[in-house]
Amino acid sequence: MTLYESYARDLAEAIAAGLFRPGDRLPSIREACRQRGVSPATVFKAYYLLEADGLIRAAPRSGYYVNPRPADRRLPEPKPSRPRAPGISVDTQDLIYDIHASLKQRSGVPLGSPFIDPTLFPLERLRQSLVAAMRRLDPWRTVEDLPPGNRTLKRQVLKRYLVHGTKLDESEIVLTHGALPALHLCLAAVTKPGDAVVIESPTFYVALQALQRRGLKAIEVATDCREGIDLGRLAQVLEKRRPAACWLMTNFQNPLGSLMPDRKKRDLVALLTRHDVPLIEDDVYGELYRGDTAPRSAKSFDRRGLVMHCASFSKTLAPGYRVGWTAAGRFAEQVERLKLMTLLTGAIPTQAAVAAYLQDGGYDPHLRRLRRSLADQQAAVVGAVQRHFPEGTRVSLPQGGYFIWLEFEKQVDAVDLFWAATAQGVSIAPGPMFSARDEFRHCIRLNTGQVWSRKVEDAIVRIGRLVARQMPRSSPSPH
């Protein structure tokens, strides 16, 4: 065995024995040379070997870190939801505002957050793109970029669709301040107050707020944490109720993390086409997949212009820049007009900055890094939940995005859990936030997008203990 192989073997044993834990930094090259009495080349080769085995990873300009171990599945998956059938008026709770307030404390651990760790974004590169774009700004652009908006950005967005095999016309794209206004505008384009809209159960609370704001009724349809909405149930609803629209998250649903398989998306579009019901496809997480193959959108199966695909750069590139869009099919002109009445246009500087960044070609390498980090972080969080949460916990294992959904026994009150965790500096997202009727009181959503650290692990240990206190009859965690 060579020197570097023997050093790599010793390190692998130290990692297996828990002397280096997931997220720990290995000694720097210089430290390792000193400790081990070997050359930098030997240390590098040993580290490359461990990296190739998936035990460690290099972080640019920072060093080598121990990877999370794949989670051994002790805890089962959550059960599919079973919402009651009739459509109901929506009243979203004050809880949503309390939770947003709790996320702003820097010292806290934001496991209830809808955002990933801000250090994972290429903010310096974006700053350069913003400065360069503003230096080059032709004063006439401030007038010419009024609707229909920044054309370079539109072309870059069209290119993203092409990369994923979908050819769209520029006239379909409406640029907005993030995905949220796009979703609201699409909803306004196809509904009138009193209409019913199909949503998933549970669903992202913004969908509930949007329905409430327009006086729409929600028809909640059963959704499972693997493959999304139950198409059989949806078909029954379409037969009996004639909803005005469906609002669904096909890729890495918030909060479940479910991924609708591509064949199911094709069936979904065929079903909606038969009933001529428009789909508002909320797809802000589609780029955050694991592995090599991007999931398709329902939009990619649409031949009739029925799907309004809404997305943004908020989750993947530029949080706070508020750059998003919809590819609104046959409703695009209506959506553009509604935009003119409400938002007028997007923000010219940030649209220009994102367009410049995309043109420079840094987006795909950034996405590859981000996907790797999110996969590692998710494995670490799920592993910690498996170790530190009591029996009786169920946890989802999504194939992308950065949320996991946890279900406990019925006696657990997720809102009490939220307040108890907040008192300890940890935020969580309690289940009732994601329901029009205060359901999922025994469920929580956790964010896995925070860079893994002891602090994050301690936060998970603490939530696990709080849950165990509310499930006293469950057998304690083995650790």
By C-beta, is 114 or 392 nearer to ligand PLP? Answer: 114
CB of 179 to ligand PLP, least distance (A): 4
DSSP letters for 181-222: HHHHHHHHHH--TT-EEEEEES--HHHHHHHHHTTPEEEEEE
By C-beta, is 4 or 252 nearer to ligand PLP? Answer: 252
CB of 255 to ligand PLP, least distance (A): 9
Interface with ligand PLP (CB under 6 A):
114, 178-180, 204, 206, 249, 254, 282, 284, 312, 314, 324
CB of 88 to ligand PLP, least distance (A): 21
CB of 163 to ligand PLP, least distance (A): 20
CB of 437 to ligand PLP, least distance (A): 20
3 state DSSP class of 443? strand
DSSP letters for 349-387: HHHHHHHHHHHHT-HHHHHHHHHHHHHHHHHHHHHHHHH
Could you tell me which residues come within 8 angstroms of residue 335 by beta carbon, excluding any fewer than 6 positions away?
A: 174, 182, 185, 186, 189, 308, 326, 328
By C-beta, is 188 or 466 nearer to ligand PLP? Answer: 188
Contacts made by residues 453-460, CB under 8 angstroms, sequence distance 24+: 453/23, 454/21, 454/23, 455/109, 456/23, 456/109, 456/111, 456/380, 456/381, 456/384, 457/23, 457/380, 457/384, 459/109, 459/111, 459/425, 459/426, 460/111, 460/381, 460/384, 460/385, 460/388
By C-beta, is 180 or 412 nearer to ligand PLP? Answer: 180
CA–CA separation, 22 and 384 (whole Å): 10
Backbone angles phi, psi at 64, to 5 degrees: -110, 135
CA–CA separation, 245 and 275 (whole Å): 10
By C-beta, is 312 or 378 nearer to ligand PLP? Answer: 312
Residue nearest to ligand PLP (CB): 178
Q: Residues of 196-207 as b/e, b for ≥16 C-beta within 10 angstroms? A: bbbbbbbbbbbb
By C-beta, is 234 or 249 nearer to ligand PLP? Answer: 249
Task: Evaluate whether 430 touches 467 at the Cβ level (below 8 Å).
Answer: no
By C-beta, is 75 or 280 nearer to ligand PLP? Answer: 280
Q: Residues of 155-182 as b/e, b for ≥16 C-beta within 10 angstroms? A: ebbbebbeeeebebeeebbbbbbbbbbb
By CB atoms closer than 10 A (0-12, 13-18, 19+), residue 292 is: exposed
CB of 32 to ligand PLP, least distance (A): 42
CA atoms within a 13 Å half-sphere pointing along the CA-CB vector of 282? 30
By C-beta, is 67 or 326 nearer to ligand PLP? Answer: 326
By C-beta, is 55 or 308 nearer to ligand PLP? Answer: 308
By C-beta, is 15 or 183 nearer to ligand PLP? Answer: 183
CB of 178 to ligand PLP, least distance (A): 3
CB of 241 to ligand PLP, least distance (A): 24
CB of 322 to ligand PLP, least distance (A): 7
By CB atoms closer than 10 A (0-12, 13-18, 19+), residue 267 is: middle
By C-beta, is 250 or 373 nearer to ligand PLP? Answer: 250
CB of 85 to ligand PLP, least distance (A): 24
CB of 283 to ligand PLP, least distance (A): 8
